[in-house]
Amino acid sequence: MSPANPHETALLEDLNAPQREAVLHGDGPLLVLSGAGSGKTRVITRRVAYLVKVHDVYPWRILAVTFTNKAAREMRERLTQLLGAQANELVVSTFHSAAAQILRREAEHVGLTRSFVIYDDSDQLNVVKRAMREAGIESMQPREILHRIDQEKNAARLPEHMQVAPGDERGQLVRKVYAAYQERLRAANAVDFGDLLLLLVTLFRTRPDVLENYRRRFTHVLVDEFQDTNPVQYALLKQLAPPPSANLVVVGDDDQSIYRWRGADVDNILGFPRQYPGAKVVKLEQNYRSDQNILDAAHEVIRKNTRRMEKKLWSERPRGQTLDLLLNRDERAEAQEVARQILALQREGFIKLSSMAVFYRANAQSRVLEEALRLARVPYTLVSGRSFYDRAEVRDASAYLRLMVNPRSDADLLRIINIPARGIGDTTVERLTDFANARGVSLYEALSQPEQVPALNGAAVKRLKGFRNLLESLTAFAQTNEEAAGAVDQMLRETKLVETLLAEGSDEAQTRAENLREFLGAAQEFDLNRAAAAVAAAANPPPEVPPEVDAAPLTADVPALQAFLEQISLVGEADAEVGDGRVALMTLHAAKGLEFDAVFLTGMEENVFPHARAVKSETTFLSEDASADGEPSEEMAEERRLCYVGFTRARKRLFVSLAQCRSLFGELRYNAPSRFLRDVPSPLFGISEQELPEAPRPRVPSMPRRRPHDEDDGPRIDRSYSQASSDMDGVGGDVRGMRVRHEQFGVGRVVSADGNGPNAKVTVEFGGGVGLKRIIARFLMPG
DNA sequence: GATAGGGATCTTTTT
DNA sequence: GATCCCTATC
């Protein structure tokens, strides 16, 4: 190795042998199998820097993609440290962002305009519902259909490519709705998340000339967290960096694949050497992160999975402290205990708040934790990504903005047609929609001649005209104004959204109004960042570019408002600054790729983690003790990997926490300790076998908790649910004939019951001429 | 057509 | 426990 380049030494010096090998790898495909904490991100960023500084690869030739925004942001930060301003020319983003940017440039090839908008989950659901209504389909749940559409998209299949067996009626329905759904999206000049990838793959397939431009440009493609790619993403990669010899570097760990539910296919990483024959394979097996006790525990959990690539993580780190097991009565006690432990750690002085994190399986678990931390005055950051932009009033504001750039977006128009209330009710909307459908035009277009809409009275026509004028004025404004904040400000003014809320006078409306002001603030901040980036770009001399290659930033020429909207759709709110003295709260999924000195993994109970769905998948398809020696279900295997991810985030301290019972859905559940807990040998906790928590406690009968002060001791409608809360179905014989009381319907007798718990559906025969009613159990009192 | 209130339904994880 | 949906009432 010749030290010809002064950068070379600096970029390589603190790397171990395999890391170095990965960074130095020449041309051609490379698979880096990288165990948890083995310096994966470091390898990727060093390699990029090495390509730029030592091999003089233009930064704009490098495409580095990851899965989450957080990971992309972090990678960009690290690259900025290594490359300075040059890092701005790199394309570092998520799959979806990169695809959106390319798709915007090529919009006209796929039947869109450049100002297309991106529909999120709830927009999608609305479109599905409308498509179903139009087609007269009622036999399936919109959610299920949407889910299946998403699956098809993840698998890179358009409606015409769907494989449906002749007798599969539901499949036929899905295909029908899928086709109608796609038509509606195209008509609205909108795409969903899946389209971003699928449309691009389709474009590249049908227009090799377009693809060729990008191939010529991106001579180096790097993918982080490759184990989580789904078929569309992999197809895209293969197009941009075709086998067998492209410069494609994929980095990942099959043990950390946690997005199967989104179509991720572990086989992509397992089979990479077959897809790219001759690919170099480098294994990173030295862990630099976690103390040995933590690694051992993680290994004990993951080793029960069968299909894994051979990897043996080792570490030179000390054994460290044992894991801590926290056992509490319920989720509140658990949260308080976590808060206490955090404060204790902080008091000891070795671990800062900013290097502690609390993980949980599902977002719903965060609330109790937040409460406890707030009460204990522990500063925290909720790493959840989207919450702000998901608020109803903010979504309303976004809908207006999206209409300003793309008035054809029916979903947005329907959302705000009567917000604030302007007297356009359901009937009017329905007539308008029918009219638009009949003519095959967008609602916005239909609004231009409201007098032609059948059956509308004069008042309704007038209101529709007023609404159309508002939208016209806003779209006109958007065309002349170059700033996001300007557009938001104008929109808030003209729509009177804030005014209307303030006029309501309630505290809640007040908060909503403040959120809208904050939304304006977000736009202002966006403009500032954009301006700063423009200044930086201007200060940087433009790279010399061969004329036949397009080296422009992918986002060049995107108007500010559009860029702002895209950021809202794909990125959500920026995470609060890390390292500012706050404990991080997040889901296990959000934790991937991060590390902390101390980690609290909460809710370590069966049905919570592993999640109930995974538990169910196992008992329905396999023998009862499948986890002991049988093949684990794919879902359970993924939970296990998730647990592995959680454990391996911890550097020094790992607190594993569980509660004896917790209320889920407003109903008390007694769950057994998580099987993952029992996979960890007790000495790693520093305790003996007997001290491990036991199976669930005997169940205590409890009332539906509607009336806490009700002292009535009569027979309980949910007696049997509490005895069988998690594994039996049917309240059945236990309650038949039982006298119950309903606030409105009075006293009656139970005829039958369906399900268990406070949410069981109970059929009751009421007196007083009321007759039979189906009621949810929790609305009943023992009578 | 607006509004309020009751009832039903649902929820893993993220782009 | 939030959100959506329906119905009754004004």
Q: Annotated catalytic, A304?
A: no
Report how far residue A659's alpha carbon sits from residue A696's, in angstroms, rounded to the nearest whole number.
10
CATH 1.10.10.10 for the A117-188 domain, yes or no? no
Q: Is A111 left (phi over 0), alpha (psi -120 to 50) or beta?
A: left
Mean pLDDT of chain A: 85
- The size of chain A, in residues, is 783
| Contact assessment for residue A631 and residue A622, using Cβ atoms and an 8 Å cutoff | yes
Residue A87 tokens read as 């890092």
CATH for A389-551+560-566? 1.10.486.10
Q: How far is the CA of A665 from the C1' of B10 (A)?
A: 9
| Contact assessment for residue A497 and residue A522, using Cβ atoms and an 8 Å cutoff | no
Q: Annotated catalytic, A40?
A: yes
Chain centroid, CA A287 distance in Å: 28
**Secondary structure letter of residue A67 according to DSSP:** S
pTM reported for the whole predicted model: 0.85
Q: What is the pLDDT of residue A477?
A: 95
CATH for A324-379+581-691? 3.40.50.300
Nucleotide nearest to A194 (CA to C1'): B15
Q: How far is the CA of A482 from the C1' of C7 (A)?
A: 47
Taking alpha carbons only, the member of A339, A338, A306, A303 closest to residue A324 is A338
Which protein residue has its CA closest to C1' of B1?
A: A425
Check A19, A20, A40, A94 and give the catalytic one: A40
Q: What is the pLDDT of residue A121?
A: 87
**Secondary structure letter of residue A691 according to DSSP:** G
| A41 annotated to a ligand binding site | yes
Q: Annotated catalytic, A402?
A: no
CA distances in angstroms from A471 to A416, A444, A448, A468, A714, listed in the order given: 11, 9, 11, 5, 60
**Looking at this protein, which amino acid is placed at residue A365?**
Q
Q: How far is the CA of A43 from the C1' of C2 (A)?
A: 44
Q: What is the pLDDT of residue A629?
A: 45
Q: How far is the CA of A70 from the C1' of C9 (A)?
A: 50
Q: What is the pLDDT of residue A551?
A: 83
Strand C bases within 7 angstroms of protein beta carbons: 1, 3-5
Nucleotide nearest to A664 (CA to C1'): C1
Taking alpha carbons only, the member of A440, A523, A426, A535 closest to residue A484 is A523
CATH for A6-107+196-285? 3.40.50.300
Q: What is the pLDDT of residue A706?
A: 32
Check A105, A157, A649, A716 and give the catalytic one: A649
Q: How far is the CA of A491 from the C1' of B5 (A)?
A: 33
State which protein residues have CB closer than 7 Å to strand C: A 122, 129, 367, 392, 663, 665-666, 759
Q: How far is the CA of A667 from the C1' of B6 (A)?
A: 20
**Secondary structure letter of residue A777 according to DSSP:** G
Check A101, A233, A256, A341 and give the catalytic one: A256
Report how far residue A317's alpha carbon sits from residue A648's, in angstroms, rounded to the nearest whole number.
14
Report how far residue A419's alpha carbon sits from residue A504's, in angstroms, rounded to the nearest whole number.
14
Residue A425 tokens read as 């009710």
Report how far residue A262's alpha carbon sits from residue A431's, in angstroms, rounded to the nearest whole number.
38
Q: What is the pLDDT of residue A711?
A: 32
The residue ranges of chain A whose pLDDT is under 70 are 1-4, 385-386, 541-543, 574-579, 619-631, 666, 694-738, 741-745, 751-764, 766-783
Q: How far is the CA of A370 from the C1' of B4 (A)?
A: 32
Q: What is the pLDDT of residue A782?
A: 61
Residue A172 tokens read as 């036929």
| A36 annotated to a ligand binding site | yes
Give just the sign of the alpha carbon dihedral A414, A416, A419, A424: negative
Structural element, H or E, at residue A466 = helix A458-480
| A646 annotated to a ligand binding site | no
Q: Annotated catalytic, A690?
A: no
| A37 annotated to a ligand binding site | yes
Report how far residue A494's alpha carbon sits from residue A709's, in angstroms, rounded to the nearest whole number.
50
Check A41, A80, A172, A346 and give the catalytic one: A41
| A35 annotated to a ligand binding site | yes
Q: Annotated catalytic, A649?
A: yes
Taking alpha carbons only, the member of A449, A477, A442, A443 closest to residue A465 is A449
Q: What is the pLDDT of residue A715?
A: 30
Strand B bases within 7 angstroms of protein beta carbons: 1-3, 6-15
First to last CA, chain A: 87
Q: Annotated catalytic, A451?
A: no
| A34 annotated to a ligand binding site | yes
Q: Which residue has the tokens 């992918």?
A: A554
